[in-house]
Structure 1
Amino acid sequence: MSTAVRRDQARQLPSAQQKRRLRSDRVAGLDVARALAVFGMFGAHVGVVADDVGSSPSTWLGVVNGRSSILFAVLAGVSVALLSGRTVPAGGDELVRARMRILVRAAWVFAIGGVLEALGTDIDIILGVYAVLFVLALPFLRWPPRQLLVAAGVLAVVTPPVDLVLAQLAEATGSYDTPFVWLAVTGPYPALIWWAFLLVGLAVGRSDLASARARATLVATGAGLAVLGYGGGWVTTQWFAGGTPVDGDGFSERPDAWDPVWLTGSVPHSGTTFEIVGSVGFALIVIGVCLVVAELLPRVSYPLASVGAMALTVYTGQVVAVWLIGTLDYDDNGAWATYILVSLVVATAWRVLLGRGPLERLLTWNSTLAAGRANRCAARDPAPSAS
């Protein structure tokens, strides 16, 4: 091949710097969805919301209960996809770097979650579970969307009863509250069940999110799953639970004896197949709508996108604020509104003046550095070729 031809081909290919810039470009709609997820979790922490959504308007804010954290988990899966090649899964050295970036981010998220737990607030810190989910995603980075969705569907059906049995075994063996068992099985956000949310997000992140067809598919599929999940939950509650929904918060304290009723309904935090399916549907609708709104109204949605772009910092800041102020019994949603307003103002100002949030900057810098070192080590000590 002549030198001139090679030069022409080199000009046609994007440079490494261009690739990094393209991959670092944020998707505003995803940031808007992250902001909504964070604000929903604020409501669970300091708001006054119903346990679930009913026919009365006074209960409609109950939509944030349980669904916000699941939306955030699905978005975590989307982030994993963006870190590992977007629509085309990374391979070779790029895959090694992507896995290292994800591992380092998982370590930092786990450490930050541990610090927030040590503050002793009444908030159930979800970051430790997210860190575990990042690690669980690593074997699936090369899987196509269809296989990811099939795997998520299998997990949605299999993991609720398995988790229930494992929780009973943990109770019997005295390991119920041990850190690993708590994160994986018995805690309020059991990673075994939440694994499905991450795989769904990974599949979503592998699609062309700029495509109108993909966005319409997200909304339509989400609506179908929401009807199937919440409708199935209602039916099973009528048939097997006498019309009385299982207490979702009580599901984190698993029953001592096997009872199929615990697998019925779709109450938030119940961990049933119906809740998983319905909440995934809700998350897909929110993501699809946010992608459209952020594109049509970029200026209006910019403050929300700013919060979403530094979601880890905002979430952490809110927990620290609750620790500083103290645990209060709120009679209305004034505190919730205040936290939202302050987050919007501070995040927007920070993004305009300083760019990335402080924790996001830390994770990006450290994970990129570690990935570069791993790549250099691999280059110095290549694997022996097969003879």
Structure 2
Amino acid sequence: MSLSPTDAVNPVVARLRAYGRAPRIVGIDIARGLAVLGMYGAHVGLTEPFDFARPGTWLDVVNGRSSILFALLAGVSIAIISGGTRTLDGVELVQARVRIFTRAAIIFGLGGFLEFLGSGIAIILPTYAALFVLALPFLRWRSPRLFALAGTVALIAPFVQLIVASGGEGGGGAIMELLFTGHYPGVIWIAFVLAGVGIGRLDLAAIRVQLWMLAAGFVLAVVGYGGGVVAQAEVPAPAVSPPVGTVDFSVLATVEAHSGSQFEVVGSAGFAILVVALCLLAARVAKWPLFPVAAVGSMALSAYTVHVLIVAVIGRDAFAQPDNGLYLGFVVGALVACSIWAVAVGRGPLEQALTRASRWAADTADRR
């Protein structure tokens, strides 16, 4: 993007004028910002089981759904890096794959470091990185095939994960944990990323696409959560945990967060798509009021990492708060700090490093 002479000497004005312009998609940044703020709530917020009739329980929507929204948006990012609505081939495709793989390697290392700190938070970054790699073979697929594969995975993977995870007590190494037994089992979560790549292949600026996503997300959420409620009523929960090595498929009759059931996967995917659609629509009429949220989303990795570092410093007291004061502090702090950074500096520090490293790796691969 070329700058006028005035903009060239006033970078703050240039950044403000660039807000909302390509290649960034404001609605996606807003959705990503909500995902990060939601994960803050899932980590340190006080929540009660969701009851639509009691607004005080509505914060419970952050549990499970925020990280799923984050994963869906990872797929959108992968699509944007690999051409967006355009299918890449040849050297461009190789460069895109190198960029994505490099990002995955760095994010995996960062995730390992954050896990080493022992913050008490289930760090999503190692799985996030693994999902980047798992998505590489599908970069040339168009949206219909990606949605079909995501749907197939959503229906079959919970059975596979349950069978494998029921085969023994822990163990199996890091790969087994990443794919089957961890907090974010990759064999299931790849469905969200594939759906996100499919969404990223669409013309997200088109109102018809945004409305289609709104309708599709609503239908999936109703089918998933509604089906789960019916299943919970029809299939009694097991009185005790099944013996090791025994598979009890009745545990999949639930919509509980992180249960990995088909109902949760479909319902939460629909919820995430619905949120993204609403954010894209909101960006049409309220992009400036939502600037702080978009700023958080534009540097989501940095905002997430700083949050984990602070929780690691606070220690276990972070999870024993009498109210949601700490959570609100994280939210306000992120909105203010990220807004100031976005205007004064631009890209987040980790995002800048990630972009430079991945572009360098892609350029090096091209020269070879």
Q: Give the TM-score normalised by structure 1.
A: 0.86
Question: Secondary structure in 2 aligned to 1:151?
Answer: helix
Shift of 1:170: 4.2
Q: Which moved more, 1:260-269 or 1:270-279?
A: 260-269
Check conservation: 2:150, 2:195, Cα contact below 8 A. Answer: yes
Aligned residues: 347
Q: Does 1:299 align with 2:288?
A: yes
Tell me the alpha carbon deviations over residues 15-43 of structure 1, each in whole angstroms, 9 at most, x when there is no partner: xxxxxxx9972101101001100011000
Shift of 1:185: 0.5
1:37 pairs with 24, 35, 40, which one? Answer: 35
Tell me the alpha carbon deviations over residues 308-350 of structure 1, each in whole angstroms, 9 at most, x when there is no partner: 0000000000000011122210121111110000001110111
Counterparts in 2 of 1:167 and 1:50: CA distance versus 1, 3 Å? same
Letter in 2 for 1:196: A
Question: Secondary structure in 1 aligned to 2:167?
Answer: helix
Check conservation: 1:53, 1:63, Cα contact below 8 A. Answer: no
| Structure having the higher Rg | 1
Identity %: 47
Shift of 1:182: 1.0
Check conservation: 1:52, 1:268, Cα contact below 8 A. Answer: no
Q: Does 1:217 align with 2:217?
A: no
Distance in 2, matches of 1:107 and 1:33, equals 24
Question: What is the aligned partner in structure 2 of residue 204 from structure 1?
Answer: 199
Counterparts in 2 of 1:23 and 1:306: CA distance versus 1, 3 Å? closer
Question: What is the aligned partner in structure 1 of residue 303 from structure 2?
Answer: 314
Question: Secondary structure in 1 aligned to 2:290?
Answer: helix
Please show how residues 340-351 of structure 1 align to structure 2 within 5 Å.
340-351=331-342
Cα RMSD over matched residues?
2.0
2:249 pairs with 256, 260, 263, which one? Answer: 260
Question: What is the aligned partner in structure 1 of residue 231 from structure 2?
Answer: 236
Counterparts in 2 of 1:297 and 1:54: CA distance versus 1, 3 Å? closer
Q: Give the TM-score normalised by structure 2.
A: 0.91
2:355 pairs with 364, 368, 376, which one? Answer: 364
Distance in 2, matches of 1:91 and 1:331, equals 55
Question: What is the aligned partner in structure 1 of residue 329 from structure 2?
Answer: 338
Please show how residues 75-90 of structure 1 align to structure 2 within 5 Å.
75-90=73-88
Question: What is the aligned partner in structure 2 of residue 286 from structure 1?
Answer: 275
Question: What is the aligned partner in structure 2 of residue 19 from structure 1?
Answer: none
Question: What is the aligned partner in structure 2 of residue 227 from structure 1?
Answer: 222
Counterparts in 2 of 1:356 and 1:167: CA distance versus 1, 3 Å? same
Question: Secondary structure in 1 aligned to 2:308?
Answer: helix
Shift of 1:56: 2.1
Shift of 1:89: 1.9
Distance in 1, matches of 2:70 and 2:339, equals 20
Shift of 1:50: 2.2
Please show how residues 30-179 of structure 1 align to structure 2 within 5 Å.
30-171=28-169, 175-176=171-172, 178-179=173-174
Shift of 1:241: 1.8
Check conservation: 1:310, 1:357, Cα contact below 8 A. Answer: yes
Distance in 2, matches of 1:254 and 1:141, equals 41
Counterparts in 2 of 1:121 and 1:208: CA distance versus 1, 3 Å? same
Letter in 1 for 2:207: A
Question: Secondary structure in 2 aligned to 1:326?
Answer: helix
Distance in 2, matches of 1:254 and 1:229, equals 28
Question: Secondary structure in 2 aligned to 1:299?
Answer: coil
Q: Does 1:274 align with 2:263?
A: yes
Q: Which runs of 5+ in 2 are unaligned?
A: 1-19
Letter in 1 for 2:362: A
Distance in 1, matches of 2:177 and 2:168, equals 10
Question: Secondary structure in 2 aligned to 1:85?
Answer: coil
Check conservation: 1:53, 1:59, Cα contact below 8 A. Answer: yes
Letter in 2 for 1:26: R
Distance in 1, matches of 2:21 and 2:124, equals 27
Distance in 1, matches of 2:33 and 2:126, equals 20
Shift of 1:262: 1.1
Letter in 1 for 2:326: A
Distance in 2, matches of 1:255 and 1:63, equals 32
Distance in 2, matches of 1:161 and 1:137, equals 21
Counterparts in 2 of 1:316 and 1:254: CA distance versus 1, 3 Å? farther
Counterparts in 2 of 1:49 and 1:351: CA distance versus 1, 3 Å? same
Q: Which moved more, 1:35-44 or 1:51-60?
A: 51-60
Distance in 1, matches of 2:196 and 2:112, equals 25
Counterparts in 2 of 1:159 and 1:350: CA distance versus 1, 3 Å? same
Question: What is the aligned partner in structure 2 of residue 324 from structure 1?
Answer: 313
Question: What is the aligned partner in structure 1 of residue 187 from structure 2?
Answer: 192
Q: Which runs of 5+ in 1 are unaligned?
A: 1-21, 378-387
Check conservation: 1:53, 1:61, Cα contact below 8 A. Answer: no
